[in-house]
A and B are shown apart, each in its own frame.
Chain A
Amino acid sequence: MRNLRYLLYIAILIVLITLPLYTGVYLLNVTDIILIYLALALSWDILLRSGQISFGMAGLFGVGGYAAGLIHLNAGVNPLISIVMGGLAAGLLAWLIGMAVLQLRGMYFAIVTLALAEIFRVIVRNLPDLTGGPEGTVLPSAIFAGNSTKTYWLVLVVALVSVIASEIFRRTRIHFALTSIRNDEVVAKSSGIDVFKYLVFIFVVTSAIQGLTGGAYAHIYGFVSPEGSFSIDFTLLPIAMALLGGMHSTWGPVVGAVVLGVISEFLKLKIPYGHLLVYGLIIVIAILFFPQGIVGTIGQKLKKAHRA
C-alpha cells in the first residue's frame, strides 16, 4: 500500500516536471498562476493549523517581490538567489513583527495582519527613491528571458517547497504542537509546549514561503508595483482555495487551488466582466454545504464507507 502511494507520488512528479512537453505556452502560463496561488493557499493553511487566521499574505508576498526585485536590480544579485533572499526578507520581517503581533489571537491577530499588509504597501508607495513609488519598478528583463518552460519549473519548485513544508509539518512533532495550540492553549502550555515559540516559528516559515512566492512572481513579470504586488487577490483567493479544498491538510489547499484556478480561468474567458461574481458564489455554496471542503468531505465519506 505504502509503496504504491510513493509510486503514485513519483508518477505525479514526473508528469509535472515533463508537463512542458505536452502543453502549449498558454496552458503553461495558466499552470504558473495556479501554482503561485497553490503555494500561498498552503502557507495560509499551515498557519491556520495553529488556529491563527492571517489576512496578511499579500503584504508578505509584496515584500518578498520587492526585496527580490530590488536586490537583483541594485546589487546585481542573480535573479534566482534574489528570489530566495526575498523569502528570507519576508521571514525576517515576520520574525520582527511576529514578536509583537503574536501576542494577539483570533480576530485581533487577523485584523492586525490585514492592516500590516496595507502598511507595507503604503510604505513602498512613499519611498520613490528606493521602490519607484506609485509607478513601481521595471526590472531589466523577465527571468530566463521569459522562457515559459524554465519559468514553469521555477514556479513548480516554489510550489513543491510549500508542499514539502506542509508535509513536514504534518508528520513531525510540529503537527502535535500546532494541533494542541489550535485546540486549547492552556492544555498545550500545561503539556510543556512553548506556545509562543511555535507560533513565531510557524509565522516566520509561512511568511518566508509567501515572500519566496512573491519573489518568483516579481521576476516572472519583471515588474513590481504597489497595487500589483500587494493586490488583495493574493490574500483572498488563496483563502478561498484552502476553504474550498479543505483545511488542515496538504491535499485540501492543493485540490482547492487547482479546482478554483481552472474554474476562474475558464470563467474569465466566458464572462470577462462577471467572473468574480460566479467565483464568489462557488465559495459561498462550498462553505454552506461542504464546510469540510472537497478533500474533507470525500475523506469523511470514505471513512463512513470503511466503517459500514
Chain B
Amino acid sequence: MPFLKTENLTRHFGGIAALNHVSMEFREHEILGIIGPNGAGKTTFINVIAGIYLPTEGKMYFNGQNISDLPAHKRCRLGIARTFQLVRPLQGLSLLENVMVGSLFGKGFGQREAREKAIALCEFLELSDISRDITRMTALEIKKMEIAHALATQPKLLFLDEVMAGLNSDETMEMIALVRRIHSRGITIGIVEHVMRVIKELTHRVVVLDWGEVIAEGPYEEVSNDPMVITAYLGEEA
C-alpha cells in the first residue's frame, strides 16, 4: 500500500489548471523531491495535499484513507505537516510559543506536555534563547522555528517548501544535514526546491511538474537527463 497516493488530482484557478491530473505516490520513509519551473504547480500540490485548497477533481489517499474531503486541520492531525515558502511566523507569540502551537493542536497535547515537546524540538534544531520575541530572530532561525512548528504536530509526512531559499552556502549545508536528521526520525519528506544540488544530495526519487502535469519521475540522475525535463527548464532548442 502506498503511503500517499494521488489519483488524477486536478485543481483549477479560473480557467487555469494549476494541477492537471496528477497521479503519483509517496513511499514510506523516502525523501521525494518535487521540482519544476516557476508556476509548475509545486506549491499548489502541497496546498491541495495539506487541505488548504480542495481539489477540483481527483482523489488522494493517505495510508489507504481517502482524505480528499477532509479539512486542513484534520489532515494535520492525521500526520501531514508543511512549512511555507515565505515564512509566516505568528506575531505576539515567542519562539517557544510558536512551536507550541504545533504540539498543542496537531496532536492535542496539554499545555505542560506541549511545552516539553516544543523545548525538545528547539534543542533538536539548535534554537537557543527560546523565550525571545520573534522580532529578534534571524531569517535562518525563523525557518528553523517553522520547521520545529511543523515537527511539533508529530507528522508522518512533512513537506518542506523551498526551505533553502535565501540561505548562504554554509547555511544550506546546515539545512541539508538537518533534513537528513529529520528523515532519520522516521519521517517521510516531500521537498520542493530550486537548488538542484540539494535535490541531488537529499532525494531518493524526484517528480518533475510542468504546467501542472507530471512530466518525469525517477531517481535524480535519470530525471536530470530526461529531454522533456531539460526542455521544461531551458525551453525549446532554437
Seen from chain A, the residues whose Cβ lies within 8 Å of a Cβ on chain B are: 172-173, 176-177, 179-180, 182-184, 186-195, 248
* Contact of A248 with B92 in the complex, beta carbons under 8 Å: yes
Nearest neighbor of B83 in chain A, beta-carbon distance? A190
* Contact of B72 with A189 in the complex, beta carbons under 8 Å: yes
- Residue B90 interfacial (CB < 8 Å): yes
User: B91: which A residues are within 8 A, CB to CB?
Assistant: 183
In the bound complex, what is the Cα–Cα distance between A150 and B34 (angstroms)? 69
* Contact of A187 with B84 in the complex, beta carbons under 8 Å: yes
CB distance from B47 to the nearest CB of A (A): 9
Chain B, interface residues (CB within 8 Å), range: 20 to 34
User: B106: which A residues are within 8 A, CB to CB?
Assistant: 191-192
User: A195: which B residues are within 8 A, CB to CB?
Assistant: 73
* Contact of B73 with A184 in the complex, beta carbons under 8 Å: no
Query: Nearest 10 A-B pairs (CB), nearest first?
Result: A189-B72, A192-B105, A192-B76, A192-B106, A183-B90, A193-B105, A192-B73, A194-B73, A192-B77, A187-B88
User: A172: which B residues are within 8 A, CB to CB?
Assistant: 111
Mask, B80-112, CB within 8 Å of A = 1, is: 011010001011110001001110111110010
- Contact residue among A173, A183, A189 (Cβ-Cβ distance under 8 Å from B76): A189
- Residue B149 interfacial (CB < 8 Å): yes
Contact status of A173 and B104, CB under 8 A, knowing A190-B52, A191-B153, A192-B76: yes
* Contact of A189 with B104 in the complex, beta carbons under 8 Å: no
User: B190: which A residues are within 8 A, CB to CB?
Assistant: none
User: B150: which A residues are within 8 A, CB to CB?
Assistant: 190
- Residue B19 interfacial (CB < 8 Å): no
Contact status of A193 and B73, CB under 8 A, knowing A173-B104, A180-B101: yes
- Contact residue among A180, A182, A189 (Cβ-Cβ distance under 8 Å from B52): A189
In the bound complex, what is the Cα–Cα distance between A60 and B166 (angstroms)? 50
User: A186: which B residues are within 8 A, CB to CB?
Assistant: 52, 72, 84, 88
User: A173: which B residues are within 8 A, CB to CB?
Assistant: 104-105, 111, 114
Most chain B Cβ neighbours within 10 Å, of A180, A182, A184: A180
* Contact of B90 with A179 in the complex, beta carbons under 8 Å: yes
Seen from chain B, the residues whose Cβ lies within 8 Å of a Cβ on chain A are: 50-52, 71-73, 76-77, 81-82, 84, 88, 90-93, 97, 100-102, 104-108, 111, 114, 149-150, 153
CB distance from A48 to the nearest CB of B (A): 12
User: A194: which B residues are within 8 A, CB to CB?
Assistant: 71, 73
* Contact of A189 with B71 in the complex, beta carbons under 8 Å: yes
Interface of A is mostly: helix
In the bound complex, what is the Cα–Cα distance between A11 and B5 (angstroms)? 62
* Contact of B153 with A192 in the complex, beta carbons under 8 Å: yes
CB distance from B117 to the nearest CB of A (A): 13
* Contact of A190 with B50 in the complex, beta carbons under 8 Å: yes
In the bound complex, what is the Cα–Cα distance between A299 and B195 (angstroms)? 44
Most chain A Cβ neighbours within 10 Å, of B73, B81, B97, B106: B73
Nearest neighbor of A193 in chain B, beta-carbon distance? B105
* Contact of A191 with B105 in the complex, beta carbons under 8 Å: yes
CB distance from A177 to the nearest CB of B (A): 7
User: A182: which B residues are within 8 A, CB to CB?
Assistant: 92
In the bound complex, what is the Cα–Cα distance between A172 and B71 (angstroms)? 24
* Contact of A179 with B76 in the complex, beta carbons under 8 Å: no
CB distance from A300 to the nearest CB of B (A): 11
Nearest neighbor of A186 in chain B, beta-carbon distance? B52
Contact status of A176 and B101, CB under 8 A, knowing A187-B84, A190-B76, A194-B73: yes
Nearest neighbor of B152 in chain A, beta-carbon distance? A191
Nearest neighbor of A248 in chain B, beta-carbon distance? B92
CB distance from A165 to the nearest CB of B (A): 18
* Contact of A191 with B101 in the complex, beta carbons under 8 Å: yes
Contact status of A176 and B104, CB under 8 A, knowing A189-B73, A190-B52, A192-B73: yes
